[in-house]
Amino acid sequence: MPALKNIKRLPEDLINRIAAGEVVERPASVIKELVENSIDAGATHISIVTAKGGKDLMRVSDNGSGMDENNLKLCVERHATSKLSNDQLDRINSLGFRGEALASIGSVAQLSVKSRPHDQGTGLIVEVTGGKISQPGPVSMNRGTIVEVKNLFAKVPARLKFLKGDRAENSAITDIIKRLAMANPSVHFILEGGDRQTSNWPGQTGPDAQKSRLGQIIGSEFINNSVVLANTRHKIVVTGMAGLPTFTRANSMMQFFFVNGRAVRDKVLIGAVRAAYGDFIFRGRFPVVAIFVDIDPGEVDVNVHPAKTELRFRDSGAVRSAVIAATGLALNEAGYRASSQLSTSTIGAFSTPAQSGQTRTGFPPSAGSTQFISSAQPSNVEFEGLSEPSARYEEPQQEDYSDFA
């Protein structure tokens, strides 16, 4: 007879470490959680410091709401959140909601949280070492919150040995910050450290804030070679910018997708972009895009994975067609006509923008660049949006997600 095995409740510290395995994969995941907390706290200025690719030190300082003593004690506990009320899980409006990020980080690193709410003259600090939480003590600081994470995975050798070199970890951190900054143009971001070049992106306001922020991060060449997206379909609002088909990359590293302000990786969105560009771009080339989808929070489930970079749409067909329509419309206005009957005779019809006679809105290509106009055949596209059958969609052979941390 096999021996009976008793079931034990796991100690809190071990529960946290198990959870941390999913939330904290590498330094960039810590940075993502901390900066998302700052954004949720309404910060307009967020500064990030790293040392040794984040392995030795990560510090995120913000000027957000801060926390008083009670909240500070709770914030490092598991399943403690200010962001979720009882039955709200199907309508998430904040970046965080699981109430586990700080507890997870505290179980695999030395963590300190200093915070000073706006109505307090001084701050308080709590520290978590080896999963043990200290009593709050006074600390002098500006209003807001400063979270410091030291020696990540120092006591988790299995994880430590899977981390990449400092440069690779640094670039993963930069990538995460870029995405968070794109989604939050009004926030001033500074990313610095002895191990990197400083990135300083002052907050952008006004009607062109999104475009200016994308220019700060992706570069002016992208702004000069892209079209503005602004279309609503099936109550799904699609904004952002999409590079002209002449402005491509060899991989998908420069494709950025956001759903309700959250940077995501999602096959529906990647597939929609591929479909929208299907007639204009050679296989193996990837357009540069920054696409922002705003959708009723009840129509999307972000509680799919603890890292919250994956999601599920209730009606993925509607999202796909909204993105194809917005991209197709903007490209169409720039002179790119999608056609299901694209034949070899139409391929190769190149003209310069000045000669094309096409009307364009948004950002015309920079002087001298050429653009592909497949105008030899009339467009069979119905507008209001790009009709789906006109766009070619092929299942990806091999998806490149290497750019996501």
Ligand X SMILES: Nc1ncnc2c1ncn2[C@@H]1O[C@H](COP(=O)(O)OP(=O)(O)OP(=O)(O)O)[C@@H](O)[C@H]1O
Which residues here bind ligand X, judged by CB under 6 A?
33, 37-38, 41, 62, 64-67, 71, 75, 80-83, 96-103, 145
Counting Cα atoms < 13 Å in the Cβ hemisphere of 187 gives 29
- Name the segment binding Mg ion (CB under 5 A); options: 95-103, 207-215, 295-303, 308-316: 95-103
The residue of the chain with the least Cβ separation from ligand X equals 96
The listed partner (Mg ion, ligand X, none) that binds 100, CB under 5 to 8 Å by sort, is ligand X
Closest separation in Å from C-beta 183 to Mg ion: 15
Assign residue 166 a region (left: φ > 0; alpha: ψ between -120 and 50; beta: otherwise): alpha
Closest separation in Å from C-beta 35 to ligand X: 9
Spatial separation of the C-alpha atoms in residues 104 and 17, rounded to whole Å: 6
- Name the segment binding Mg ion (CB under 5 A); options: 36-44, 149-157, 168-176, 358-366: 36-44
Cβ–Cβ < 8 Å for 293, 258:
yes
Closest separation in Å from C-beta 47 to Mg ion: 18
Spatial separation of the C-alpha atoms in residues 302 and 176, rounded to whole Å: 18
Closest separation in Å from C-beta 118 to ligand X: 11
260 binds Mg ion (CB under 5 A): no
AA identity, residue 287 = P
Give the interface size with Mg ion as a residue count (CB under 5 A): 3
Closer residue to ligand X, CB minimum distance, 21 or 362:
21
- Continuous segment of H or E residues that includes residue 40: helix 27-40
Query: Where does residue 273 rank: exposed (0-12), middle (13-18), buried (19+ CB within 10 A)?
Result: buried
Interaction pattern, residues 96-125, with Mg ion; x per rule: CB under 5 A? x----x------------------------
- Closest of 169, 180, 140 to residue 56, by C-alpha: 169
Closer residue to ligand X, CB minimum distance, 188 or 360:
188
To which residue do tokens 């002449």 refer? Answer: 246
The listed partner (ligand X, Mg ion, none) that binds 41, CB under 5 to 8 Å by sort, is ligand X
37 binds Mg ion (CB under 5 A): yes
Cβ–Cβ < 8 Å for 36, 180:
yes
Closest separation in Å from C-beta 97 to ligand X: 5
Q: Where are the alpha helices (DSSP H) in 136-259?
A: 157-160, 166-183, 209-218, 220-224
Beta bridge partners of 228: 241
How far is C-alpha 119 from the geometric centre of its chain's CA atoms? Answer: 32
The listed partner (ligand X, Mg ion, none) that binds 83, CB under 5 to 8 Å by sort, is ligand X
Closer residue to Mg ion, CB minimum distance, 145 or 216:
145
Closest separation in Å from C-beta 36 to Mg ion: 5
